[in-house]
């Protein structure tokens, strides 16, 4: 797969953002920083500040690499790397992961989980973005709702993703807005509840469509 800087530069800039921020505050960080918080936003774990270097690698860089190489290693060759929607998805996903990385580093720097609900808002936005993109995804092994029934039938794949697209888009929006209206602890329950619903419904739907197609 050919790397084209004119297509990839937005994602690369987003990837650099947490590294630049971390470099600017590095000397201000203590040797031991918070690394984990509970549902109430209270610190319940610490680690060396060197581990903060891994945050950008496991968030924006990993997501970017998965999306960059998915079209190459997809056996079905159905991920269209040249489509504008796929490029926008890659940039948006990388941007959201980069913002999350900055948020984690900032919280470690300040020794406090600043606005815990912001994480749930980012998760909600991410799910809405995926929902908006979902109905255009062709059958593949990397992106979308990959159940035995959707991978077996292109028609089941199409119907399932059209069905799931609405739930993911509005579910993500409700998640993002709701997280701003409730406490962080209740926000966690909101996120988990909506994620469970929008995760299970398409699976059940794909099974029903497959059985209906068999008749």
Q: What is the DSSP string of 49-96?
A: GGGGGHHHIIIIIHHHHHHHHHHHH-TT----TTSHHHHHHHHHHHHH
Instruction: State yes or no: pLDDT of 210 exceeds 90.
Output: yes
For the segment 117-146, the average pLDDT, to the nearest whole number, is 87
Give the Å distances, CA to CA, from 87 to 9, 65, 80: 11, 13, 9
Q: pTM of the prediction? A: 0.80
pLDDT of residue 177: 95
Whose CA is closest to 54, among 18, 25, 20, 9? 18
Q: Where are the chain's structural domains?
A: 1-114, 115-215
The tens digit of pLDDT for each residue in 36-70 reads: 877 667 788 889 999 999 999 999 999 999 888 87
How far apart are alpha carbons 123 and 118 in whole angstroms? 9
How far apart are alpha carbons 144 and 137 in whole angstroms? 7
pLDDT of residue 183: 84
Residue 81's pLDDT band (cuts 50, 70, 90): low
Higher pLDDT, 76 or 176: 176
Residue 113's pLDDT band (cuts 50, 70, 90): confident
Residue 176's pLDDT band (cuts 50, 70, 90): very high
Q: Which residues contact 174 (CB under 8 A, 6 or more apart)?
A: 124, 194
Residue 82's pLDDT band (cuts 50, 70, 90): low
Instruction: State yes or no: pLDDT of 92 exceeds 80.
Output: yes
pLDDT of residue 205: 96
Half-sphere exposure of 168 (CA within 13 A, CB side): 22
Buried b or exposed e, range 162-199, using 16+ CB within 10 angstroms: ebbbebbbebbebbbebbeeeebeebbebbeebbeebe
How far apart are alpha carbons 39 and 192 in whole angstroms? 12
SS3 47: strand
pLDDT of residue 143: 82
């Amino acid at each position: 797969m050919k790397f084209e800087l004119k297509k990839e530069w937005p994602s690369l800039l987003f990837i650099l953002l947490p590294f630049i921020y971390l470099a600017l505050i590095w000397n201000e960080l203590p040797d031991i920083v918070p690394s984990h918080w509970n549902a109430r936003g209270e610190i319940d774990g610490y680690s060396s500040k060197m581990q903060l270097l891994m945050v950008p690698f496991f968030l924006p860089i990993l997501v970017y690499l998965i999306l960059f190489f998915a079209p190459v290693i997809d056996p079905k060759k159905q991920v269209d790397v040249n489509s504008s929607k796929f490029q926008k998805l890659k940039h948006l996903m990388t941007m959201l992961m980069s913002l999350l990385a900055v948020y984690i580093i900032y919280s470690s720097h300040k020794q406090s989980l600043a606005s815990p609900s912001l994480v749930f808002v980012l998760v909600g936005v991410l799910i809405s973005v995926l929902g908006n993109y979902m109905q255009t995804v062709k059958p593949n092994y990397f992106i979308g709702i990959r159940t035995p029934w959707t991978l077996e039938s292109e028609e089941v794949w199409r119907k399932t993703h059209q069905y799931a697209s609405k739930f993911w888009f509005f579910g993500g929006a409700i998640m993002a807005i709701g997280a701003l209206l409730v406490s962080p602890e209740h926000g966690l329950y909101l996120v988990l509840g909506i994620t469970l619903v929008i995760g299970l419904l398409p699976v059940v739907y794909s099974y029903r469509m497959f059985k209906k197609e068999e008749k």
